[in-house]
Amino acid sequence: MTLLKVSGEHDLYTAPDLRDRLKEGLSAGAVVVDLSGATFVDSSILGALLSARQRAAEDGNGFAVSLETGASRTVRQVFEITGLIPAMPVLPSVEEAMKAMNNEPATRHEAG
Amino acid sequence: MPRVSLKIPARPENVAVVRQALSGLADSMRLENGVLTNMKVAVTEACANVVVHAYEDDGDMELEILPRASELTVVVRDEGRGFRPRVSTGEDASWRLGMPLIASLTDGFEVAHGPEGHGTEVRMTFAVH
């Protein structure tokens, strides 16, 4: 499993780099993106996460986002307004994100 | 409070510059943090739209901030070919998410197009308490 920690401000300028890292991680297996240290994300970051989730589902890999309770309100708000919570698996810690990932049907499919 | 205006190349790295300008203004106006956050997110989406869709080649994005007693209007303007969302690309997915963000974080917004599809103006109003 790859853990991608994203911190600071991210928008369309840094989205290509995130997309590359997500691709890299997903080609090796499951990915957890920890956004707890992020202070700002825009729709291009959400777009990158959505594409990653779709790719993970297609490949039968796990994918989840971790966002701690104390994380940036801005980031949480952006997820909520766009409906990515609850559409995307967003968990309050990396451990829970990993657990949620293991319960996903896609991962069971891989095991079977 | 004087009006603020900023004209910079419409490039991805410059959207952070716009957010910096908003932070500076918020400091000098003693704006609530919540208002600044809403402005940052909504204005980022409007600028991102200019960067991605407005120009075939190079062009500028213009930011104008018009403070009034109880509200603040931020105008994001370009001189490009007009807003044409491209269907079924990654960018389009982003704008589908960006539009609801602008709608829900502003207290009013409108999109206007210049003559013959030249130039687009997104006008966003934020209530200031």
Segment A98-104 shows an average pLDDT of: 81
- Cβ neighbourhood burial of A75 (10 Å; 0-12, 13-18, 19+): buried
Q: What is the pLDDT of residue A104?
A: 58
User: Given an 8 Å threshold on Cβ–Cβ distance, is A42 in contact with B44?
Assistant: yes
* Candidates B94, B95, B99, B102, partner chain A, best to mutate (most A CBs within 10 A): B94
Q: What is the pLDDT of residue B123?
A: 97
Segment B16-32 shows an average pLDDT of: 94
Quote the minimal CA–CA distance from B49 to chain A in Å: 10
* Candidates B11, B40, B97, partner chain A, best to mutate (most A CBs within 10 A): B97
- β-strand partners of A25: none
**Whether the Cβ atoms of residue B15 and residue B44 lie closer than 8 Å to each other:** yes
What does the mean pLDDT of chain B come to? 88
Higher pLDDT pick, A41 / B129: A41
- The string of pLDDT tens digits covering residues A34-75 is 999 999 999 999 999 999 999 999 999 999 999 999 999 999
What are the extents of the domains in chain A?
2-111
User: Given an 8 Å threshold on Cβ–Cβ distance, is A42 in contact with B19?
Assistant: no
Quote the minimal CA–CA distance from B34 to chain A in Å: 9
- CATH class of the B4-127 domain in this structure: alpha beta
Q: How many CB atoms lie within 10 A of CB B102?
A: 23
Question: Which residue stretches of A1-112 are H helix?
Answer: 15-28, 43-59, 73-81, 84-87, 94-102, 105-111
Residue A92, CB-side half-sphere exposure with 13 Å CA sphere: 2
Q: How confident is the model at residue B92 (pLDDT cuts 50, 70, 90)?
A: low
Q: What is the pLDDT of residue B87?
A: 45
CA B37 to chain centre: 13
Segment A83-103 shows an average pLDDT of: 90
What percent of chain A shows pLDDT beyond 70? Answer: 92
CA separation for the pair B19, B28 (Å, rounded): 14
User: Given an 8 Å threshold on Cβ–Cβ distance, is B97 in contact with A40?
Assistant: no
- β-strand partners of B125: B73
By Cβ distance, the residue of A12, A46, A74 closest to B37 is A74
Please identify which residue in the block is written with the tokens 């370009």.
Answer: B78
Q: What is the pLDDT of residue A76?
A: 95
Superfamily the domain A2-111 falls into: STAS domain (3.30.750.24)
Is the model's pLDDT at B86 over the cut of 80?
Answer: no
Please give the ipTM for the structure prediction.
0.88
B95: helix, coil or strand? Answer: helix
Chain B residues with beta carbon closer than 8 angstroms to that of A20: none
